[in-house]
Structure 1
Amino acid sequence: MPDKSTKNPKLLSGGNPQIPKGEGDAPVQAYIAAMPGWKQDIGRSIDDIVERNVPETQKAVKWNTPFYGVEGHGWFLGFHCLTKYIKVTFFRGASLNPAPPVESKQKDVRYFHIHEGDQFDEAGFADWVKQASELPGEEL
């Protein structure tokens, strides 16, 4: 029987899907399926890029955010929807070359914002993903 909590998820403020926390691909796919409008295609692209470049990726949804990590190394990336953009978090982003453009109050964290109509540089994003997956991740 399908889990009713992921069948028609509620959108929180800013359009972020409310998905029950869970480990594995299924909750991440439920989150992506619930992303509103143009954001859903970007969510699929992010997921595809991570899977292609880090085949051993571990996935989970925590705090209504999909997370990607490597077993034994922690989480290297997460993303969520805000009203006007998708906020991608690289937990060790300050160590990436080049570093993602948006700074955080946390010295190691860097963000990448994707707005509607932006040209999404998939090759550059894939490079960040590869680099990030090789660094020690965040234990959440």
Structure 2
Amino acid sequence: MAGKTPKVSTKGAGKVAGKKTEVKPASAAPVLLSGGNPQIAKGDGDAPVQAYIAAMPGWKRDLGRRLDAVIVRALPTVRKAVKWNSPFYGVDGEGWFLSFHCFAKYVKVAFFRGAQLSPVPPGTSKQKDVRYLDIYEDDVFDEAQFAAWVKQASRLPGERM
């Protein structure tokens, strides 16, 4: 057998409970859900959030990096996780105060206690406390205002999810 590559059986590979499944290589591109939102396995910590940001399509990836950087500068001890295919940011023991999500033409930032921020973020919600900031490709992103909202939001009681 010297110099020969052994054969590896793939019989049964790609089957789960009698159904064929697609076997993807490890370097496969991330799955994008409707609107271009990355499908990232939920998990705690910076790594899943960075995986989400890396999978954001086009201009949204740079925006995701900026959002994450501003949040970390404003609150260096921020807790991070990916839940429901969205990055979440919070304070240990206090819950989550912010998340963001990709849509086809914009990124939606949710402040869970946004109605208590000053000034109140512009986007309303069916939930009385939640406010949104929708950021489109050609929008000017006001990092100073966003950082102020992050600092304020991090001091409010967070959501337990």
Normalising by the smaller structure, the TM-score range is over 0.9
Change in Cα spacing, 1:19 to 1:74, as seen in structure 2 (3 Å) is same
Specify every segment of 5 or more residues in structure 2 that has no aligned partner in the other structure, as ranges: 1-24
Q: Equivalent residues in 2 for 1:1-140 (5 A)?
A: 8-140=29-161
Q: Secondary structure at the match of 1:99?
A: coil
Deviations 1:46-96 (A, max 9, x none): 000010011110000000000000001100000010001000000000000
Relative to its length, the structure with more helix (as a share) is 1
Once residues 40 and 131 of structure 1 are traced to their aligned partners in structure 2, the CA distance between those partners, rounded to angstroms, is: 25
Q: List gaps (5 residues or longer) in structure 1.
A: none
Separation in 1 of the partners of 2:34 and 2:27?
Answer: 17
- Structure 1 runs of 4+ with >2 Å offset: 4-8
Following superposition, the deviation at residue 7 of structure 1 comes to 6.0
Secondary structure of 2:70's partner? helix
User: 2: distance between equivalents of 1:5 and 1:58?
Assistant: 28
Larger RCO (alpha carbons 8 Å, 6+ apart): 1
CA pair 139-6 structure 1, distance change in 2 beyond 3 A: farther
Whether the 8 Å CA contact 1:50–1:126 is kept in 2: the answer is: yes
What TM-score do you get using the length of structure 1 for normalisation? Answer: 0.95
TM-score by structure 2 length? 0.83
Q: Give the % identical residues.
A: 68
User: What value does the CA root-mean-square deviation take over the aligned residues?
Assistant: 1.3
Residue type at the aligned position of 1:119 = V
